[in-house]
Structure 1
Amino acid sequence: MGRIPQAFRKVAAQSPVSTLLKAKTSSVLQEEKAPPLVPHLQRKKNFSQKKPFAKNDSAAKTTVPSFFFESANLSDAKSLFNSFISSTTDAPSEPSFYNSILQSFSSVSSVQDSIFFLNHMVKQHPPFCPNRFTYHTLLKQACSSADEQSLSGVHNVLNLMTNSGFPPNQVSTDVAARALCECGREEDAVELVKELSTKNSLPDTYTYNFMVRHLVKKRSVSSANSFINDMKDFGINPDLVTYTIMIDNVCNTKNLREAMRLLRVLSEKGFKPDCYVYNTIMKGYAHLSQGGDVLGVYKRMLDEEVVPDHITYNTLIFGLSKSGRVKDAKKFLQVMTEKGHTPDAITYTSLMNGMCREGDALGALALLGEMERKGCSPNSCTYNTLLLGLCKGRQLNEGVKLYEMMKKCDIKLETGSYGTLLRALCRQGRVAEAYEVFDYAIESKSIPDIAAYSTLESTLKWLKKAREQGLVV
Structure 2
Amino acid sequence: MGYTIFLQQPTSNAHCLHGFHSCSDHLYLNYSSSCHLSFRLSSFPSKSCLRCDYVIGFQKNGFLLQCRQQHTSAYIDTDDVANENDCNLERAAIRPYQKLKETQIDSQRHSNSSLLCMDGPFVKNNEESNNKILCNFCKNGKLIEASNLLDVMARSSQIPDFSSCISITRGLIKIDQIEKASKVLWIMVMSGGVPDIITYNMLIGGLCKKGQLKSAIELLDNMGLSGCPPDMITYNTIIRCMSDHRQIDHAVEFWKDQLRNGCPPYVITYTMLIELFCKNHGATRAMEVLDDLVIEGCYPDIVTYNSLINTTCKLRNYKDAALVISDLLSRGLEPDAITYNTLLFYLCGSGNWVEVDEILSIMNRTSYPPTIISYNILIKSLCKYGHLDQAVDFLDQMISLGCSPDIVTYNTLFGALCREGMTDEALDILHALVDIGCSPVLITYNIITHGLVKKGDMEKAKGLFGEMIGCGIGPDEITYSTLITGFCRKDRVEEAIEMLREMGRSSHKTRVGTYTIVIQAMCRTKKVDAAIEILDMMILSRCKPDKSIYTALIRGVAAAGMIDEAAEIRKILSKQKVLREE
TM-score using structure 1 length: 0.66
1:15 and 2:15 correspond: no
**Alpha-carbon contact 2:526-2:560 (below 8 Å) kept:** no
CA distance in 1, matches of 2:512, 2:205: 50
Q: 1:169 to 1:138 in 2, by over 3 A?
A: closer
C-alpha displacement at 1:154, in angstroms?
1.7
Q: 1:189 to 1:175 in 2, by over 3 A?
A: farther
Deviation string, structure 1 residues 135-188 (Cα, Å, up to 9, x no partner): 97356424413784333432442342243244745243035357x59xxx9326
**Alpha-carbon contact 2:523-2:557 (below 8 Å) kept:** no
**Alpha-carbon contact 1:352-1:367 (below 8 Å) kept:** yes
Deviation string, structure 1 residues 218-249 (Cα, Å, up to 9, x no partner): xx441476245335324366532234345445
C-alpha displacement at 1:390, in angstroms?
2.1
**Alpha-carbon contact 2:283-2:324 (below 8 Å) kept:** no
**Alpha-carbon contact 1:215-1:224 (below 8 Å) kept:** yes
Name the residue aligned to 2:401: 304
Letter in 2 for 1:422: I
Letter in 2 for 1:358: K
Deviation string, structure 1 residues 338-378 (Cα, Å, up to 9, x no partner): 11223333333333333333332122212322333343333
SS of 2:487's partner is: helix
1:262 and 2:356 correspond: yes
CA distance in 2, matches of 1:14, 1:150: 40
Name the residue aligned to 1:194: 287
Name the residue aligned to 2:426: 329
CA distance in 2, matches of 1:102, 1:345: 42
Name the residue aligned to 1:31: none
SS of 1:343's partner is: coil
CA distance in 1, matches of 2:266, 2:448: 53
Q: 1:322 to 1:66 in 2, by over 3 A?
A: same
Q: Of 207, 218, 222, which aligns to 1:108? A: 207
Name the residue aligned to 2:443: 346
Letter in 1 for 2:502: M
Q: Of 464, 468, 475, which aligns to 1:367? A: 464
CA distance in 1, matches of 2:440, 2:231: 53
**Alpha-carbon contact 1:380-1:411 (below 8 Å) kept:** yes
Letter in 2 for 1:153: H
Q: Percent identity?
A: 20
Q: Of 450, 456, 467, which aligns to 2:549? A: 456
C-alpha displacement at 1:293, in angstroms?
4.3
**Alpha-carbon contact 2:242-2:248 (below 8 Å) kept:** no
1:383 and 2:522 correspond: no
CA distance in 2, matches of 1:214, 1:436: 57
- For structure 1, list consecutive stretches of 5 or more residues without a partner in the other structure: 19-57, 469-473
* Structure possessing the higher radius of gyration over alpha carbons: 2
CA distance in 2, matches of 1:287, 1:444: 39
Q: 1:392 to 1:287 in 2, by over 3 A?
A: farther
CA distance in 1, matches of 2:337, 2:282: 23
Point out which structure has higher relative CO (alpha carbons under 8 A, 6+ apart): 1
Select between 339-348 and 407-416 the one with higher mean Cα deviation. 407-416
C-alpha displacement at 1:262, in angstroms?
2.8
Name the residue aligned to 1:232: 326
CA distance in 2, matches of 1:245, 1:206: 12
C-alpha displacement at 1:434, in angstroms?
2.2
TM-score using structure 2 length: 0.55
**Alpha-carbon contact 2:267-2:300 (below 8 Å) kept:** yes
**Alpha-carbon contact 2:274-2:290 (below 8 Å) kept:** no
CA distance in 2, matches of 1:338, 1:396: 37
**Alpha-carbon contact 1:412-1:441 (below 8 Å) kept:** no
Letter in 2 for 1:384: S
SS of 2:316's partner is: helix
Q: 1:247 to 1:354 in 2, by over 3 A?
A: same
Count of matched residue positions in the alignment of Structure 1 and Structure 2? 394
Q: Of 403, 406, 409, which aligns to 2:500? A: 403
Letter in 2 for 1:232: S
SS of 1:15's partner is: helix
CA distance in 2, matches of 1:313, 1:280: 12
SS of 1:376's partner is: coil
- For structure 2, list consecutive stretches of 5 or more residues without a partner in the other structure: 1-142, 562-582
Q: 1:425 to 1:17 in 2, by over 3 A?
A: farther
Q: 1:455 to 1:286 in 2, by over 3 A?
A: farther
CA distance in 2, matches of 1:152, 1:461: 67
SS of 2:352's partner is: helix
Letter in 2 for 1:108: L
Letter in 1 for 2:207: V
User: Considering only aligned residues, what root-mean-square deviation do their CA atoms show, in Å?
Assistant: 4.6
C-alpha displacement at 1:278, in angstroms?
2.3
Q: 1:385 to 1:464 in 2, by over 3 A?
A: same
CA distance in 1, matches of 2:405, 2:420: 21
Select between 337-346 and 143-152 the one with higher mean Cα deviation. 143-152
Q: 1:137 to 1:415 in 2, by over 3 A?
A: same
SS of 1:108's partner is: helix
Q: 1:260 to 1:167 in 2, by over 3 A?
A: same
CA distance in 2, matches of 1:395, 1:78: 69
Q: 1:289 to 1:416 in 2, by over 3 A?
A: farther
SS of 1:198's partner is: helix
Name the residue aligned to 1:24: none
Deviation string, structure 1 residues 76-97 (Cα, Å, up to 9, x no partner): 979947x955x54xx65xxx85
C-alpha displacement at 1:398, in angstroms?
2.9
CA distance in 2, matches of 1:458, 1:365: 30
Name the residue aligned to 1:242: 339
**Alpha-carbon contact 1:286-1:315 (below 8 Å) kept:** yes
**Alpha-carbon contact 2:449-2:464 (below 8 Å) kept:** yes
C-alpha displacement at 1:389, in angstroms?
1.8
CA distance in 1, matches of 2:207, 2:555: 62
C-alpha displacement at 1:286, in angstroms?
4.5
CA distance in 1, matches of 2:150, 2:376: 60
Name the residue aligned to 1:355: 452
CA distance in 1, matches of 2:383, 2:466: 26
Letter in 2 for 1:14: M
SS of 2:546's partner is: helix
Name the residue aligned to 2:316: 222
CA distance in 2, matches of 1:377, 1:295: 30
Name the residue aligned to 2:525: 428
Q: 1:435 to 1:466 in 2, by over 3 A?
A: closer
